[in-house]
Structure 1
Amino acid sequence: MPQQRGEPLLETAVRYAEERHWDVFPGTWLETAGGVQRCSCGDPVCAAPGAHPAHGDWATRATGSATAVRRMWQERPTASILLPTGRTFDAMSVPETTGFLALARMERMGAALGPVILTPERRMQFFVLPGACVKVPGLLRRLGWSSASLDLVPLGEGAYVAAPPTRYGSRGAVQWACRPTPANRWLPDVEELISPLAYACGRDR
């Protein structure tokens, strides 16, 4: 699903639901007041301006229905696009430098990759099959690492990721490091990626 530059958020959100069968929900958005961009949540020191849930019940609002998604963005065309983890995918979040090191290693290994997000907060999020959160601690122990020793954060049930082209205030937009394509529709299990991710995290400490 190639990303079109300047494509409306509504159309992008609908394509995520229709083509990838991902649940989607609208988050906050950016507002300009006095020439200054602020998050619609009203917090002047918001940690993720324009890129976090707008409602506490966001998990129940998330839907894979293209009709419902279209209706939600018609009501708020500038809302960020957020994807709940723990449903059709989990995500492994690592620092950006770690992520690029891991990507290079995975390419040499010929590892199968799913989509990978690059955030303005300089994090990379690797999409894997659901259930990664449960498996990661044991997998790391087998590799000789503890979860606390590496900046490797599994995002599963109860968490979410901001999807391209969502903007984080003045920091820039979320981007794809590896875009969703027909070739990566079938996601890897975290067991297939944990070794290069842990190795890269250990090197980047």
Structure 2
Amino acid sequence: MERRGRMSEWLRRRPRSTGERTRSMSRAAAADRDALLLGAAAASFPVAPAAHPSGFSCSCDRIGCPTPGMHPVSFAWQTQATTDTEQITRWLAGQPLANFITATGTNHDVLDVPAAAGAIALRRLEAEGVQTGPVARYGADRMLFFTATRGTPADEDEWWPCELDCHPETQDEHPGLRWHCRGSYVLLPPSRLPDGSVVDWVRPPDLPLPDPLSLLAGLTDACAQVAGEEEAKQEAAGGWLSGGR
């Protein structure tokens, strides 16, 4: 409880920025990065190094990488991901520009929704007294709700893979809610995104993880509301264009 209080207070005091970070990280920025990632590991989120944006491309050697800075460095990221402080400290020292992912489906899952829907759901859930647990923001586009994991059910028929979530290049084809469970991952704060924004915490990682089903209805309702509002705007715009002809 004491550690949880210190982490929450530190995040409240920590200045947030969505601007582009310079390649030459200041000592203070490096300390913030280390504290955030070690704090996530202390909250039992297994982490592994990821690529980072490099100019208009990616630090990986893939020509035309579709998701610069948003994928693990190693194909063995699932076995590489760890909460071991010494290993993470070595990665941080040896890869000062790297982003980091957390592997889902072992210690936690993630419900990933459009940012507008996430903001609506967060307000509603908290107003209803629902414990939302850790929440992160992917720039201006997405919001991540960290939950207890479904893990590996005794009956495998009760488990479904998140294959689409495993391949971020398919995300534009699936703009609604994504459930990151076994075999998937998400970026952790303070990872940098291709547009210069960052991943940051809205609610700290050391909060208790809620049951995903306690959040699911609220998140799906908010996603439906945002999708309906967007559809109505498009229909209104189409009607205006038709009337103008």
TM-score interval, normalised by the smaller of the two chains: 0.7 to 0.9
What is the aligned counterpart of 1:189 among 200, 204, 211? Answer: 211
Give runs of ≥4 in structure 1 deviating > 4 Å: 132-136
The separation in 1 between residues aligned to 2:34 and 2:112, in whole angstroms, is 26
What is the aligned counterpart of 1:12 among 33, 36, 44? Answer: 36
Unaligned runs of 5+ in 2: 1-6, 16-27, 153-157, 161-173, 228-245
The separation in 1 between residues aligned to 2:175 and 2:81, in whole angstroms, is 31
The secondary structure found in structure 2 opposite 1:204 is helix
Matched-pair contact (CA < 8 Å) for 1:150–1:201: no
Match of 1:159 in 2: 184
What is the aligned counterpart of 2:196 among 151, 167, 171? Answer: 171
What is the aligned counterpart of 1:97 among 116, 125, 128? Answer: 116
Q: Over aligned residue pairs, what C-alpha RMSD do you find?
A: 2.4
Unaligned runs of 5+ in 1: 137-148
Q: Deviations over 1:22-57 (max 9, x none)?
A: 2111111233xxxx3431113454333223111111
Match of 1:139 in 2: none
TM-score by length of 2: 0.68
Q: Deviations over 1:2-25 (max 9, x none)?
A: 3445442334322322x3122111
The separation in 1 between residues aligned to 2:141 and 2:90, in whole angstroms, is 32
The separation in 2 between residues aligned to 1:49 and 1:168, in whole angstroms, is 8
Match of 2:226 in 1: 204
State the identity %.
Answer: 29
Shift of 1:135: 7.5
TM-score by length of 1: 0.80
The separation in 2 between residues aligned to 1:164 and 1:93, in whole angstroms, is 15
Q: Report how many residues are paired.
A: 185
The secondary structure found in structure 2 opposite 1:16 is helix
Query: Which of structures 1 and 2 has the bigger CA Rg?
Result: 2
